Amino acid sequence: MKKRSLRDLPPQALDGKRALVRVDFNVPLKNGKVTDDTRLRASLPTIQYLRDKGARVVLLSHLGRPKGGPDPQYSLQQVVRDLETLLGAPVEFIPDPATGVPTTRRLPRGGVALVENTRFWPGEEKNDPELAKVFAALGDLYVNDAFGSAHRAHASTEAVAHLLKPAVAGFLMEKELTYLGQLLSNPKHPFVAVLGGAKISGKIDVIRSLLPRVDGLLIGGAMACTFFGAMGLEVGDSLVEPDRIALAKDLLATSGKKLILPRGAVIAPSLERASEHRAVSADAIPKGWAVFDIDETTQHDFRARLLRAKTIFWNGPMGVFETPPFDAGTRAIATALVEAGKKGAVTVVGGGDSVAAVAGIENQLTHVSTGGGASLEFLEGKELPGVAALEDA
Q: How far apart are CA 226 and CA 239, in angstroms?
A: 8
| Residues 239-278, interacting with ligand ADP (CB under 6 A) | 239
Indicate whether 373 belongs to the interface with Mg ion (CB under 5 A): no
Look at residue 111 and give its three-state secondary structure: coil
* Among 319, 371, 385, 386, contact with ligand ADP (rule: CB under 6 A): 319
199 catalytic residue (yes or no):
yes
Q: How far apart are CA 197 and CA 203, in angstroms?
A: 9
In the complex with ligand ADP, the residue whose CB is nearer, 121 or 321, is 321
In the complex with Mg ion, the residue whose CB is nearer, 236 or 316, is 316
Give the residue nearest to ligand ADP (CB). 197
Indicate whether 197 belongs to the interface with ligand ADP (CB under 6 A): yes
Q: How far apart are CA 38 and CA 82, in angstroms?
A: 11
Look at residue 28 and give its three-state secondary structure: coil
Among the listed residues 351, 334, 263, the one whose alpha carbon sits nearest the alpha carbon of residue 301: 263
352 catalytic residue (yes or no):
yes
Question: What's the helix, strand, coil split of the chain in %, to 5?
Answer: 40, 15, 40
Give the one entry of Mg ion, ligand ADP, none that residue 322 binds, where binding means its C-beta sits below a cut-off of 5 to 8 angstroms depending on kind: ligand ADP
Indicate whether 291 belongs to the interface with ligand ADP (CB under 6 A): yes
Q: How far apart are CA 191 and CA 6, in angstroms?
A: 30
SS (H, E, C) 163-224: CCCCEEECHHHHHHHHHHHHHHHCCCCCEEEEECCCCCHHHHHHHHHHCCCCCEEEECCCHH
In the stretch 198-227, what mask flags binding to ligand ADP with x, by CB under 6 A?
Answer: x---x------------------xx-----
373 catalytic residue (yes or no):
yes
What single-letter amino acid sits at 5? S
Given a contact cutoff of 8 angstroms between Cβ atoms, the answer to whether 180 and 153 are in contact is no
- Is 76 exposed, middle or buried, given 0-12, 13-18 or 19+ CB atoms closer than 10 A? buried
- CA 208, 150, 164, 12 dihedral sign is negative
Give the one entry of ligand ADP, Mg ion, none that residue 320 binds, where binding means its C-beta sits below a cut-off of 5 to 8 angstroms depending on kind: ligand ADP
Min CB(318)–ligand ADP separation in Å: 7
Piece in contact with Mg ion (CB under 5 A), picked from 203-211, 244-252, 303-311, 352-360: 352-360
What single-letter amino acid sits at 58? V
Give the one entry of ligand ADP, Mg ion, none that residue 319 binds, where binding means its C-beta sits below a cut-off of 5 to 8 angstroms depending on kind: ligand ADP
Piece in contact with Mg ion (CB under 5 A), picked from 39-47, 126-134, 321-329, 344-352: 344-352
In the complex with ligand ADP, the residue whose CB is nearer, 150 or 265, is 265
Per the residue annotation, which of 17, 22, 39, 119 is the catalytic one? 39
Give the one entry of Mg ion, ligand ADP, none that residue 315 binds, where binding means its C-beta sits below a cut-off of 5 to 8 angstroms depending on kind: ligand ADP
Min CB(38)–ligand ADP separation in Å: 15
Indicate whether 352 belongs to the interface with ligand ADP (CB under 6 A): yes
Min CB(320)–Mg ion separation in Å: 12
Give the residue nearest to Mg ion (CB). 352
* Among 144, 209, 311, 315, contact with ligand ADP (rule: CB under 6 A): 315
In the complex with ligand ADP, the residue whose CB is nearer, 221 or 386, is 221
Backbone φ and ψ for 320, nearest 5 degrees, come out as -75, 75
Indicate whether 352 belongs to the interface with Mg ion (CB under 5 A): yes
Q: How many CB atoms lie within 10 A of CB 258?
A: 17
Q: How far apart are CA 153 and CA 132, in angstroms?
A: 11
* Among 37, 353, 380, 391, contact with ligand ADP (rule: CB under 6 A): 353
Q: How far apart, in Å, are the Cα atoms of 33 and each of 37, 73, 100, 225?
A: 10, 11, 25, 39
Residues that bind ligand ADP (CB under 6 A): 196-198, 202, 221-222, 239, 291-292, 315-317, 319-320, 322, 351-354, 372
> Among all residues, which ones are annotated catalytic?
39, 199, 352, 373
Residues that bind Mg ion (CB under 5 A): 352-353
